[in-house]
Structure 1
């Protein structure tokens, strides 16, 4: 399945599950509060399948599989027979209406816990949190390649993904954080990563890179993939050569090469480049030359070679718990991610992070769902859990037409002792529609910029 069609399919599956579960929360609590539910629909539009239950509710599967809805008996939406008036939503005490409204987002939080539990039990394959190369703030803090990150702050980091998730909020807040590692030479140490010194305007999507950390699994082997004509390497080095040493200094990865060439160029003159070529070990004399980077025009000392395309390394770590241990772990992770999501919303509203990197549209969601599905069930469950959590929390924002907006009206009603006037509710609907339209427009814009333009 191509990425395009795969993304569409997994978007439909994801939204279908999440929104249907959300609406089921409203449905389940409404029924238990004595409210008559007219229709529970999976999807929108014309029903492809329709059945009326003994309770009088129509259960439908509709043509547009992007969510669903629950339609309740309500005197504000049409005439209600007198004998059924007591079952109308608008006739219920305010506490019942609050319970029905909150049930949808709460269902998404429950679903998030369940999905994370399943992910922990299945086991999510990942990369070990081993550093491959450090520079900048990471090197200044004392971190070295080969160190294994055990914790960032008070959050344990059993996998590299956990390292990234722990470092991102600290980087966005430019907050210094302690990093506990198992050193490459044995023993444990804790270093202070001074993220308060991150430069202004760094790429928030590449926070770990800006800190100066490269994980071991992203290190590029020192294998030549291309030799440019007319350069010092032309006719000397060949595609497939693995550079093992430069001027007597050992080379383990491609990142080791630039500083050695810089040192050699400043010294001047040729040096021996040792390479492994098939079954041979060769020592070849070569001198670097000044070259210009095609992206920014900066000069550097180089040979005129490019790295071979590296294959994705195999996962070497698994995030897994037993069935019982996964229960508290799922609750703890849901609570942690809820706090982080609320903090991210706060950063966006206060301008501390770019809304371009915080508001995602359907293209981004579709690609994330497809990428998660391609990596296996545990990763897809992780993506689904985070989407469910986002849907639940965002629906609680006090924006009219969202569940949080209705909840706000009912809380005002509790305080003042009478319902909010229809005029105020109508005005709120217009404001809510404008806000949602603006958010959707921003989400689509971010999708275009982040996925199609770049």
Structure 2
């Protein structure tokens, strides 16, 4: 399946699941509150498929799959047959109306917990949060190669994904954060990562790299993928050789090789390059020579080696049993809720650019496809985060959204009478303008981040 077709497919699947659950929340509570539901639609526009149940509700799948709605009997929107007035939405007590409105976001929150639970039960393949390279702030903070990050602050980090999420939140706030690590010798220590020393103006997408901490799994293994013809290593080293030492200095990652080869070139002469080949350990004499980088044209000391181009192997799995997965899913949902609310706060306060906060359909489609290709657990995690985002977004006090209706009903609850139609109409125009502006920003970000860069 091509990336384009896969992205479109998984976007439609994701939106279909999220919208159906959201609207079902409104529908379920409305029916149990005695309100007649006229239509339950997934999508907008002309129905592609529809049917009616015995209660007169039309269930439809419409042509434009970018949302959905539940249409209820309401005297403000059309004539109500005699005898059905009690089933009209506008005739319900304000608390019932509030329950019906909030049920959509609540359904998304429930779905989020369920998806996290299923992800934990299936098990998400991942990478250990082992430090592979330290520079800059990370080195100044005392982190060392081989450290295994057990916790960031009070947040346990069983995998590099959890560690990266926790570090990103602290980096966005420029907050120094303690890291509990297990050293290479097996002992434990606490290192304070001094994120307050990060310079201002860094692109948020490059914040983690700017800390100087690189996870071990991101570093290519020191396995030879190709030997350049007529280079110093030609006919000496071979594809598949694993380098373990150069001139007596151990090699643990491909990133060690340029530094050691450069030191050898500066010193001059031959040195022993040790490799593992077919289970045997070999020591072979080699002398680097001055070579030109094929892209930059810069001269450097080299042997003529290229790394194996392959995906790193997973060395960690985030998994719980069915019972233990319940509290784990609740904790993860609460933690992600806090992170998202904090992200919205940073965007409104100007500490986070909206360019990196608001994602459009292209970004979501590509992310859905990428996560689906990584496996079911990764896709379930992304779907859980999208469901949570939809629930939180709908609770914002913006007219048109569920949060805007809740605001009107809270005012009605306090003052004892409904908000005037004039105020509601004005609010609808304001809400529509805000939503259009938000959609415009999302499409702009999509174009800039996916098509321009």
Kindly provide the CA deviation profile for residues 227-246 of structure 1, in whole angstroms up to 9, marking residues without a partner as x. Answer: 77xxxx95323473655444
2:71 maps to what in 1? 71
1:432 maps to what in 2? 431
1:98 maps to what in 2? 98
Deviation at 1:72, TM superposition (A): 0.5
8 Å Cα contact 2:127-2:314 kept in structure 1: yes
Deviation at 1:273, TM superposition (A): 6.2
Q: Which blocks of at least 5 consecutive residues in structure 1 are unaligned?
A: none
1:108 maps to what in 2? 108
Kindly provide the CA deviation profile for residues 104-155 of structure 1, in whole angstroms up to 9, marking residues without a partner as x. Answer: 0011001111111111111111112222222222222222222211111101
Please, what TM-score do these two structures have when normalized by structure 1?
0.91
8 Å Cα contact 1:293-1:300 kept in structure 2: no
Q: Which moved more, 1:121-130 or 1:269-278?
A: 269-278
Q: Distance in 2 between matches of 1:124 and 1:243?
A: 31
Q: Distance in 2 between matches of 1:290 and 1:263?
A: 17
Q: Distance in 2 between matches of 1:32 and 1:164?
A: 43
8 Å Cα contact 2:262-2:302 kept in structure 1: no
Q: Which moved more, 1:44-53 or 1:106-115?
A: 44-53
1:85 maps to what in 2? 85
CA 273–205 in structure 1, closer or farther in 2 if over 3 Å, else same: farther
Deviation at 1:351, TM superposition (A): 1.0
Kindly provide the CA deviation profile for residues 334-389 of structure 1, in whole angstroms up to 9, marking residues without a partner as x. Answer: 11110100000000111111211111111111111112211221111111100000
Q: Distance in 1 between matches of 2:147 and 2:170?
A: 20
Q: Distance in 2 between matches of 1:237 and 1:306?
A: 7
1:237 maps to what in 2? 233
Q: Distance in 2 between matches of 1:379 and 1:312?
A: 16
3-state SS of paired residue (1:342):
helix
Count residues in correspondence: 446
5 Å-filtered alignment, 1:25-424, equals 25-223=25-223, 235-238=231-234, 240=239, 243-264=243-264, 267=266, 269-272=268-271, 274=273, 276=275, 281-288=283-290, 294=296, 301-303=300-302, 305=304, 307-424=306-423
8 Å Cα contact 1:270-1:288 kept in structure 2: no
1:4 maps to what in 2? 4
8 Å Cα contact 2:287-2:303 kept in structure 1: no
Deviation at 1:18, TM superposition (A): 0.3
8 Å Cα contact 2:289-2:303 kept in structure 1: no
Q: Distance in 2 between matches of 1:121 and 1:415?
A: 45
Q: Which moved more, 1:212-221 or 1:153-162?
A: 212-221
3-state SS of paired residue (2:398):
coil
Kindly provide the CA deviation profile for residues 176-214 of structure 1, in whole angstroms up to 9, marking residues without a partner as x. Answer: 111111111111111111111112222322333221222
Q: Distance in 2 between matches of 1:357 and 1:40?
A: 34
Q: Distance in 2 between matches of 1:290 and 1:95?
A: 74
Q: Which moved more, 1:79-88 or 1:108-117?
A: 79-88
Q: Distance in 2 between matches of 1:79 and 1:388?
A: 35
8 Å Cα contact 1:149-1:182 kept in structure 2: yes
Deviation at 1:22, TM superposition (A): 0.3
Q: Distance in 2 between matches of 1:451 and 1:191?
A: 37
Q: Which moved more, 1:351-360 or 1:133-142?
A: 133-142
Deviation at 1:306, TM superposition (A): 6.2
8 Å Cα contact 1:131-1:147 kept in structure 2: yes
